[in-house]
Structure 1
Amino acid sequence: MFAGLYAVFAAFSLATTQTEHGIALIWPSSGVLFAGLLLSTRQSRLLLLALIAPVSMAVNMAFGATFAIAAGLTLANVLEGAIAVAIACGLDGRCGRFDDPRWIARFVIASVCASAASALIASVATGAIDSPTFLYSWFKTVFLGMLIVAPVIVTGVHTVSDRTRIAFDRRKILAAGLFATVSIVATFGQTDYPLLFLPVVAIVFVTFIAGVAGALVMICAITIAATISLIVGTSPITFVSDPLQKIYFTQFYLLTIFASSLPPAALLARSRAQMAEIELRKAQHDAAQAFAHVGHWRYCLRTNTSQWSDGMLAIYGLDPKVDRARNLEHGSIVEELEGHVRETLKKAVLDRQPFTLAARILNAQGESRYIESAGDVEIENGKVVAIFGVLKDVTNHVTALRQLAVEKERAEALAQKSQRLSETDQLTGIANRRKLLDTLGREIARSEREHTDLSILMIDVDHFKSINDRFGHAVGDEVLKRLANLGSTTLRKGDLFGRLGGEEFLAILPSASAETAAHIGERLRRECEELDWPKIAKLDGVTISLGVAMCQFGYDETSLLHAADTALYESKRSGRNRLTIADRDGSIEKAAKLISASRR
């Protein structure tokens, strides 16, 4: 991709931005190559450089360069990319980000070194080593290409690939974009007034709104506008008459734009990132404090007095400036837990072991709070003299756990409901095609694993289209609902009856031979035929045709359904209102005789 972009930009620059002096305003291909190398891994960078070499040769020769000169210019192009990425990425080979001022400085240094080396090699290749104009123009165009194009591509790729995106106010973005567009058009779309300051104002505004990405987009947009204005003759730099000097001034202007916008944008981004980090840490600190609600206490067995920390008093709803420490329970522990707390503390004293306890208290305001406490005993001269511990208000935690349990139960109920809805035919309330096919696949696997029988019934309503056409879809829907009810009540426990689609139904019969399935199907056929259809839907009668197939070794869902569908088709072809069995060898004659006999 980068090799293709390199070729397109190189050809475009040679074709459109050359002046009569043979000097381009900017060489974007250098920026494309630099960006591609920055975004590539170490292993793929050599491949990219190898792909760029023939592309550069072809483009240079296409625009009139001899083979020798094209080879020299190609060497300059390839080495400039290699030098730039080596300096920018250093020993670790990793690309930085353009919201880091240090990385920007390193990127600029790499661009300067690579551009200088490229200009020197190109001047030797073209025999212009003694031409300061050639050296300067080559250096400046490559340098500008790297400075302006590479950051835009790299930042764009990072922005797209970042999992977390910064949320911007769309209205502010639109306003900034509109102001920037008007500023650029007003500056580079006319020659009467040199409004070169307008893009500077616009880039400051856009940078403040959109950060580094906005600054880079503005730099790129100004560069494109400046290039086009030089080509079509609308450059606002009318105070410079010499075309060559006008190009030099435009290049200097673009460098000034870059230097005055990207570093401040990076500093602004760093400042915003630091502020966001401070706010995050503050929020985490506040959350930790709010969650902790920790206090400590000590009860002296000699004097029967207690010492409480301010945090302890706060947990009990007491004012540290007014209230005194009390015994741990002091009447606040709910009645059903008082005995538990006393026994826990008594056991700790007798066993001389650490303890933990949990209880619920009523604070001074009558609010119910949940607490946890852990502590140990103090021993002096072999005697237990005091009990001390740390107490924590875990009300929020307990409440959250209870709420989580409620939400979990609700989510599980919703998931089960969604599962049922996704597997249920909305019209009939029975299993839908998805449920049928999933179940059929599992039953085929179980049949092969456990060497048990498995048969299916495929059912189709006879002349259903005629029913819909003559009596309307409401009557047709009622027929499908009645048949669904018949199927659900006729089948055995463990069987599954569902609607495949339209007027076609399927019954999955685990542990059923073809003959068993045929008898079940025949019972369903008779009950459907004998139903009081004139009373239900004002119909003379409704019949069904059925096809039975038994799962054979090697069958999958498709082959088993095909066998049942073939038998169903035979029932239809033979006059409808009948059942046909697909035999093991695919024949249906024996099955048809069996059913005919059962019907007689």
Structure 2
Amino acid sequence: MFRARRASPAPVWLIPVVFAGLYAVFAAFSLATTQTEHGIALIWPSSGVLFAGLLLSTRQSRLLLLALIAPVSMAVNMAFGATFAIAAGLTLANVLEGAIAVAMACGLDGRCGRFDDPRWIARFVIASVCASAASALIASVATGAIDSPTFLYSWFKTVFLGMLIVAPVIVTGVHTVSDRTRIAFDRRKILAAGLFATVSIVATFGQTDYPLLFLPVVAIVFVTFIAGVAGALVMICAITIAATISLIVGTSPITFVSDPLQKIYFTQFYLLTIFASSLPPAALLARSRAQMAEIELRKAQHDAAQAFAHVGHWRYCLRTNTSQWSDGMFAIYGLDPKVDRARNLEHGSIVEELEGHVRETLKKAVLDRQPFTLAARILNAQGESRYIESAGDVEIENGKVVAIFGVLKDVTNHVTALRQLAVEKERAEALAQKSQRLSETDQLTGIANRRKLLDTLGREIARSEREHTDLSILMIDVDHFKSINDRFGHAVGDEVLKRLANLGSTTLRKGDLFGRLGGEEFLAILPSASAETAAHIGERLRRECEELDWPKIAKLDGVTISLGVAMCQFGYDETSLLHAADTALYESKRSGRNRLTIADRDGSIEKAAKLISASRR
């Protein structure tokens, strides 16, 4: 079970100040309790405190923590008799070991892992080894003991143990208290494990008669199984504290080693063994439990999904000619698994016209020894028609096919939905086509509107450039159209526009587009047409418009049009091409109307000799 909990962010200076204080306390304690004439401690917890503080800090607060550690280390070392030079060297070793450790453990992105991840633990251990080795080398130089293997080994071992044991305990403890996810353990199991661990540690390190060093190992395995990574770290810390106290007060069970220095070395090796045999397995156990929880969750979701999706599975034995069904199969067929028996898939409820198809599909799967899929329709026990799909394979033993098995799904809702979707899709497509036609059609004349014309013109310009083909346009304007509206009314004006729209649509070639730009202005798009071709088409349109029997149609004396032709040039877009045609149209109107003008290649108007025009009758 998990409970979500939010924690307000701590000030940037809080963690550095707290861990600098803890560093001073543990450093002073370690120096005060240092055993042997060589000044060798069992463990240097201050290194673990510094490493933990750096792991829990942000990038900004890490620099502050390292800056605070320097004067603290100087003060503690000088308080216990070190000269300024030696204290400075030891301080440098302490600060650099922390910087190296966090840099290697967290990498360039500065992100730190957790101690329930085996890969992170390996990275943490490697970082601790490198940082401890660097610290030992710097300290040996600072103290003038560079030629002393004992000093190098002792410094490395105490710092390494401090990082390995103290840092994980502090980091995991902070995460357990303030993290977003807390695991609720069984209290009775925790109490039992704690009691057993306490008895084991006391019995081991509280006497000198029997070397019961195996008891804490048994206890740590038990606690790790019950409490996971947190339990393993607590046990490692407890054993380390008990071993340290036993060395100080003289109750260490390592009586088979008489030399005090060798006894410390043996205890350090023992603690390393405890760490190696508990934390990595605890991390693996935590990962395994997380994976099992994930598998159980997915299984429950899968079972629920199968029930919700109306899925079942079946098996037909060729030897006994009998079938086995899951509860899902009985539910699909509308049967009771407690009363009814499983049926063979190829007959029974399968509709008669599909029995042969199902039988042949299963027979072919047996002969070819290949997977199969089939679809059919059944009548369930209530007489309802249901659609099913099944997929499966054959079972082979000793080279012979002994059974067929498969998964069956009720797809009635799916089939019904697909059919309804097809109907709705057809209806939607019809509506869309109708809407598109309406959006691209001029309501008065029934031909292409401005939107359709401009869209088509853009595509034709792109195609002309891509395929290196000609493209011309005709811009048409009804002469004196305002006068027609004023004299005869808008109804007559509308009839003129309709007649011209019909005339333009029938005069143009197949593949050309004729439409209304707006008002009394029309446009013809002529793909693969040169300016001369467009001029001939436009002249034919102008002539037919002039010769139309207008008095019979709308009681008009006559209606004429003016036209402008423009041919698409390299680099033209819709605006420039339309502008060229409009300029030519304007020239036609300026020159007396009822005529056609071709725009020059640069968009200007050609000379009169280039005009194709006809005088108004």
Partner secondary structure for residue 236 of structure 1: coil
Once the 2 structures are TM-superposed, how far is the Cα of residue 239 of structure 1 from its aligned partner?
Answer: 1.0
Contact 1:295 1:391 in 2 (8 A): yes
Which one of 234, 244, 259 corresponds to residue 217 of structure 1?
Answer: 234
User: Which has the higher mean CA deviation after the structures are superposed, 23-32 or 292-301?
Assistant: 292-301
Seen in structure 2, the aligned counterparts of structure 1 residues 342 and 463 have a Cα distance that, compared at 3 Å, is same
Alignment length (residue pairs): 600
Partner secondary structure for residue 446 of structure 1: helix
Contact 1:525 1:578 in 2 (8 A): yes
Seen in structure 2, the aligned counterparts of structure 1 residues 213 and 544 have a Cα distance that, compared at 3 Å, is farther
Which one of 239, 256, 259 corresponds to residue 239 of structure 1?
Answer: 256
Contact 1:582 1:591 in 2 (8 A): no
Structure 2 gaps of 5+ residues are: 1-17
What are the Cα deviations for residues 535-558 of structure 1, in whole angstroms up to 9, with x where unaligned? 999999999999999999999999
- In the alignment, the residues of structure 2 paired with residue 480 and residue 180 of structure 1 have an alpha-carbon distance, to the nearest angstrom, of 102
Partner secondary structure for residue 499 of structure 1: strand
- In the alignment, the residues of structure 2 paired with residue 12 and residue 470 of structure 1 have an alpha-carbon distance, to the nearest angstrom, of 114
Partner secondary structure for residue 584 of structure 1: coil
Corresponding residue of 1:533: 550
Seen in structure 2, the aligned counterparts of structure 1 residues 122 and 294 have a Cα distance that, compared at 3 Å, is same
Once the 2 structures are TM-superposed, how far is the Cα of residue 340 of structure 1 from its aligned partner?
Answer: 32
Contact 1:17 1:227 in 2 (8 A): no
Contact 1:459 1:505 in 2 (8 A): yes
User: Which has the higher mean CA deviation after the structures are superposed, 540-549 or 369-378?
Assistant: 540-549
Seen in structure 2, the aligned counterparts of structure 1 residues 554 and 401 have a Cα distance that, compared at 3 Å, is same
Once the 2 structures are TM-superposed, how far is the Cα of residue 314 of structure 1 from its aligned partner?
Answer: 3.6
User: Which has the higher mean CA deviation after the structures are superposed, 559-568 or 396-405?
Assistant: 559-568
User: Which has the higher mean CA deviation after the structures are superposed, 296-305 or 210-219?
Assistant: 296-305
Once the 2 structures are TM-superposed, how far is the Cα of residue 115 of structure 1 from its aligned partner?
Answer: 0.3
Corresponding residue of 1:25: 42
Identity across matched positions, percent: 100
Contact 1:580 1:592 in 2 (8 A): no
Seen in structure 2, the aligned counterparts of structure 1 residues 8 and 533 have a Cα distance that, compared at 3 Å, is farther
- In the alignment, the residues of structure 1 paired with residue 172 and residue 113 of structure 2 have an alpha-carbon distance, to the nearest angstrom, of 10
Once the 2 structures are TM-superposed, how far is the Cα of residue 454 of structure 1 from its aligned partner?
Answer: 81
- In the alignment, the residues of structure 2 paired with residue 79 and residue 442 of structure 1 have an alpha-carbon distance, to the nearest angstrom, of 69
Contact 1:581 1:592 in 2 (8 A): no
Structure 1 gaps of 5+ residues are: none
User: Which has the higher mean CA deviation after the structures are superposed, 99-108 or 216-225?
Assistant: 99-108
The higher radius of gyration belongs to 2
Once the 2 structures are TM-superposed, how far is the Cα of residue 453 of structure 1 from its aligned partner?
Answer: 83
Seen in structure 2, the aligned counterparts of structure 1 residues 378 and 421 have a Cα distance that, compared at 3 Å, is same
Seen in structure 2, the aligned counterparts of structure 1 residues 511 and 378 have a Cα distance that, compared at 3 Å, is closer
What are the Cα deviations for residues 369-392 of structure 1, in whole angstroms up to 9, with x where unaligned? 999999999999999999999999
1:579-590 alignment, distance < 5 Å: none
Contact 1:25 1:247 in 2 (8 A): yes
What are the Cα deviations for residues 409-452 of structure 1, in whole angstroms up to 9, with x where unaligned? 99999999999999999999999999999999999999999999
- In the alignment, the residues of structure 2 paired with residue 70 and residue 326 of structure 1 have an alpha-carbon distance, to the nearest angstrom, of 88
What are the Cα deviations for residues 124-150 of structure 1, in whole angstroms up to 9, with x where unaligned? 111111111111110000000000001
Once the 2 structures are TM-superposed, how far is the Cα of residue 232 of structure 1 from its aligned partner?
Answer: 0.5
Q: Once superposed, which parts of structure 1, at least 4 consecutive aligned residues long, lie more than 6 Å away?
A: 294-313, 319-363, 365-600
Contact 1:525 1:577 in 2 (8 A): yes
Seen in structure 2, the aligned counterparts of structure 1 residues 330 and 157 have a Cα distance that, compared at 3 Å, is same
What are the Cα deviations for residues 263-295 of structure 1, in whole angstroms up to 9, with x where unaligned? 111121121122111111111111211222269
Once the 2 structures are TM-superposed, how far is the Cα of residue 44 of structure 1 from its aligned partner?
Answer: 1.6
TM-score w.r.t. the length of structure 1 is 0.52
Once the 2 structures are TM-superposed, how far is the Cα of residue 164 of structure 1 from its aligned partner?
Answer: 2.9
User: Which has the higher mean CA deviation after the structures are superposed, 1-10 or 349-358?
Assistant: 349-358
Seen in structure 2, the aligned counterparts of structure 1 residues 300 and 238 have a Cα distance that, compared at 3 Å, is closer
What are the Cα deviations for residues 157-193 of structure 1, in whole angstroms up to 9, with x where unaligned? 2222333322322111111101110110011111111
Partner secondary structure for residue 298 of structure 1: strand
Seen in structure 2, the aligned counterparts of structure 1 residues 398 and 575 have a Cα distance that, compared at 3 Å, is same
Contact 2:546 2:559 in 1 (8 A): yes
What are the Cα deviations for residues 447-504 of structure 1, in whole angstroms up to 9, with x where unaligned? 9999999999999999999999999999999999999999999999999999999999
Partner secondary structure for residue 64 of structure 2: helix
User: Which has the higher mean CA deviation after the structures are superposed, 90-99 or 511-520?
Assistant: 511-520
- In the alignment, the residues of structure 2 paired with residue 304 and residue 60 of structure 1 have an alpha-carbon distance, to the nearest angstrom, of 88
User: Which has the higher mean CA deviation after the structures are superposed, 147-156 or 368-377?
Assistant: 368-377
- In the alignment, the residues of structure 2 paired with residue 167 and residue 436 of structure 1 have an alpha-carbon distance, to the nearest angstrom, of 72
- In the alignment, the residues of structure 2 paired with residue 537 and residue 228 of structure 1 have an alpha-carbon distance, to the nearest angstrom, of 120
Seen in structure 2, the aligned counterparts of structure 1 residues 539 and 341 have a Cα distance that, compared at 3 Å, is same
- In the alignment, the residues of structure 1 paired with residue 167 and residue 387 of structure 2 have an alpha-carbon distance, to the nearest angstrom, of 59
Seen in structure 2, the aligned counterparts of structure 1 residues 363 and 597 have a Cα distance that, compared at 3 Å, is same
Seen in structure 2, the aligned counterparts of structure 1 residues 592 and 334 have a Cα distance that, compared at 3 Å, is farther
- In the alignment, the residues of structure 2 paired with residue 90 and residue 373 of structure 1 have an alpha-carbon distance, to the nearest angstrom, of 52
